[in-house]
Amino acid sequence: MTETSHPRPDPARVRALRGTVLAVSLLNLAYMLVEIGVALGIGSVSLVADSVDFFEDFAVNMLIVIALGWPLARRARVGKVMAGIIVLPAIAALAMAAVKVGDPEPPATGPLFWTGVGSLLVNLVCVGLLARFRADGGSLTRAAWLAARNDLIAGIVLIALAGATALTASGWADIIVGVLLVVLNGGAAKEVWQAATEERLAAQALAGEFDDD
């Protein structure tokens, strides 16, 4: 079956997809707030950085909800705004890492461990919710499912980080993991920006506009 011959989407399926993606988006937003609160309480760079991951998933899933009803041009504008917003918490995590380099006090391992467990569980729920829709809605929906699946790894890393911090009694592991997560999230913001740019170009092509820049 070619892309030009695919059947019209089932409206009931689209409504179910919209509701599922909205639920996943709100789950990510809620746990982002949890992680930020714990991170600031125990001084964890890695948790601040991981919260950016949750914000990224919130933004991407909200973009999908919007995309199900909005034309490409408007979707592209929202996508670029989301890319910029994703960068802001990452910058905050880098600033926190720079401050902690001078005094690498380890975060409390108990809250770090249980927050990592919570991250793992939330992402398991999101993967389960998105699994039956990963072939629906095109590349954005599949990207959301893959992002949630890959975020399971971040939860495992946070749990392992709690163990490493307890063994070493040092904050360096937290700083290093946090910086690595910031780098990954910077790449995610770039990908969202590029996807929005491609959507803008596609919208121009559909409208019969061409831009050589």
Tell me if 156 is assigned to some domain.
Answer: yes
Tell me if 81 is assigned to some domain.
Answer: yes
Domain that holds residue 98: 10-206
pTM above 0.85, yes or no: no
Tell me if 164 is assigned to some domain.
Answer: yes
- The DSSP 8-state label assigned to residue 108 in this structure reads P
Tell me if 126 is assigned to some domain.
Answer: yes
Q: What does the pLDDT look like over 58-103, one tens digit per residue?
A: 887 887 787 776 676 776 777 777 777 767 767 777 777 777 777 7
Give the 3-state secondary structure of residue 211: coil
- For residue 1, pLDDT over 60 is answered with no
Tell me if 195 is assigned to some domain.
Answer: yes
- Domain tally, the chain: 1
Tell me if 153 is assigned to some domain.
Answer: yes
Cα-flanking dihedrals φ and ψ of residue 104, to 5°?
A: -75, 65
Tell me if 127 is assigned to some domain.
Answer: yes
- For residue 9, pLDDT over 70 is answered with no
Q: Mark 179-193 as b/e (b = at least 16 C-beta within 10 Å).
A: bebbebbbebbebbb
